Structure 1
Amino acid sequence: TLNDIWCDNMSGKVIAVGTAAPTPFLVSTNGGVNWIYDIGTGITTTIYGLKMVNANTGYASGSSGKMFKTTNGGLNWDSVSFVGATSTLYCTDFISVDTGWASGSSGTIYKTVNGGMNWTLQTTGITSTLYRIDMVNALTGYFIGSSGACRKTTDGGTTWTAQTPNYTSTLYWIDMKDVNSGYLVGIGGTLRRTTNGGANWDTVLTPISASQYSISFSNMNTGYVVGASGYTFRTSNGGTTWDIKNSGSSTINAVYSKGYDSAFIAGSSGMILKQYNALVGGITWNNNSPQKFSLEQNYPNPFNPVTTIKFAIPHTAKISLKVYDILGREVEVLFNNVEFNPGTVTYDFDGTNLASGVYFYSLIANNSLIETKRMVLVK
């Protein structure tokens, strides 16, 4: 399992970190085309957090209070002295090669100002597990964690003030674009957005009601969300509409993107994917408010080989969308019991693998048939 990932578009370097066996570090120097698998052999620490300050220098945090540092783009990792830390460190964040923080179990946060040579324990005032810390600059930053923990510092971590994202379950990731604006995600499809420094957090619906584990926004409008559903969501308008891509994996733990057109994702079973504009023209979810379930006629019809299927969901429901041949045999499953939030879904169905003929597509919500329509594939 991989827990975090980073890429540098200029140099082509990609680094992924995860479980210790056979090695917690994977590195590519050509944009993910090839990977070096024998880095960190002998390190038995599971790595959860990764922060590259630049293309050469970075830090990784993991189990048993262990920290590691690289100065050559991830090709070698040296152990960082960490006196007193024994609990898991789920995240690390650095604003320079010298100044950084590490957070983890039991509400612990440590700070260094000399590149990891020495660390100071900071007081957070809570005992929740802290899954992510995001420092915007030397003074202002945020952390999130279990039981809806969310706090902010404006003095470099000396003191932390409680924020109110109005959520009591676990929060897994926070991505602040500046001292005032950013997003956080967590259990149950939670996506919250602030534009006033955490004073208020507004709910932003995502297409599928599943736990979200990671986000990566290049600005407040454009970003990616991934999680337990195995789907990647991408927006360019702050969450009004989302492009959807199925990764084929059961769980995605991390996403890293510096722009709208591409992203690296990492997750269960050592999965790493680089996503391009393939998200465009596939599946789109619109955050509107339909009054009832509906399934529209595909267009164009007849088609060859791509046609658009559109359906509406008035409330959260487990959705299946299936295609059958003229004999009633199931030939394609587009969605299978996926829990969608309310909205309108547009699906570009590709019939390349099917023969010419008459087909039927059915929308099923919570195991009840909503509607079936006829379409004709002509090659």
Structure 2
Amino acid sequence: MSIPSAFGSYEMRGLAFANDSVGWVGNDIGPRLFKTRDGGYSWTEQNSQVWGSWSISLLDTLRGWTGYLGISKTTNGGLTYIGGLSNETPGTFELYQNHPNPFNSSTVIRFTIKQPSEAEITVFDMLGRQVFRWPGEGILQAGTYEYSFTGDNLSSGVYIYRLTAKTSEGKRVFSDSRKMIYLK
């Protein structure tokens, strides 16, 4: 079998298929994953924001994770990534404007939390309907974080994203919202 030209000069690692059609393969050079929907005949490149993808595990066609020097995961067939950016303890909670904005395939939502908290990101359409929810990864330590959001299952339009932070007892200590624009 020849190496598909979509891979270029990358050395492939971590091949996994969810079924006969849908599969992923990572590489050891950069933050890239390749996805197939036709059993490996064609591949599309996706930026995973994790440097190197040596291990890939899939639960089904929508849920899985990959990692080497960080972890990307998916719960909707697109890629999401969360990672800590700083060990410094910030003095405030803050939700920053996503970038890029407007965005086409993915955007980064950055936030800081000043105390250990459960953080949740929710996205709403302009009618107030919840279209996405990232329930967090348990208690995050105080610090600055980035979350990579993909709008694969959304229509072009204006959306509101909200960060909510709660203590381990469930008391809300912070909530803020911002507007983002998705263009397909």
TM over 0.5: yes
User: With CA pairs under 8 Å and 6+ residues apart, which has the higher RCO, 1 or 2?
Assistant: 2
**1:282: how far off?**
2.2
Aligned to 1:334: 134
**1:343: how far off?**
1.2
Gaps of 5+ in 2: 1-13, 18-47, 58-63, 73-78, 167-171
CA distance in 2 between counterparts of 1:261 and 1:31 reads 9
CA distance in 2 between counterparts of 1:264 and 1:326 reads 36
The yes-or-no answer on 1:357 pairing with 2:157 is yes
Matches within 5 A, 1:74-223: none
**Counterpart AA for 1:376:** I
Distance 1:362 1:274, change over 3 A: closer
What do you get for the CA RMSD once the two structures are aligned? 3.8
Aligned to 2:66: 275
The yes-or-no answer on 1:263 pairing with 2:62 is no
Aligned to 1:373: 178
CA contact under 8 A between 1:298 and 1:307: conserved in structure 2? yes
Partner of 2:115: helix, strand, or coil? coil
CA distance in 2 between counterparts of 1:274 and 1:368 reads 30
CA contact under 8 A between 1:320 and 1:338: conserved in structure 2? no
Q: TM-score, normalised by structure 1?
A: 0.28
Q: 2:125 aligns with which of 325, 330, 335?
A: 325
**1:321: how far off?**
1.0
CA distance in 2 between counterparts of 1:339 and 1:355 reads 32
Q: TM-score, normalised by structure 2?
A: 0.55
Gaps of 5+ in 1: 1-29, 34-242, 246-259, 266-272
Distance 1:244 1:312, change over 3 A: farther
**Counterpart AA for 2:152:** T
Q: Deviations over 1:167-211 (max 9, x none)?
A: xxxxxxxxxxxxxxxxxxxxxxxxxxxxxxxxxxxxxxxxxxxxx
CA contact under 8 A between 1:262 and 1:274: conserved in structure 2? no
Distance 1:307 1:31, change over 3 A: closer
- Tell me the percent identity: 32
Return the index of the structure with the highest Cα Rg.
1
Partner of 1:263: helix, strand, or coil? strand
Aligned to 1:288: 88
Aligned to 1:316: 116
Aligned to 1:212: none
CA contact under 8 A between 2:80 and 2:149: conserved in structure 1? no
Distance 1:377 1:370, change over 3 A: same
Distance 1:352 1:314, change over 3 A: same
CA distance in 1 between counterparts of 2:114 and 2:89 reads 6
Q: Deviations over 1:305-334 (max 9, x none)?
A: 211110001110111111111111111012
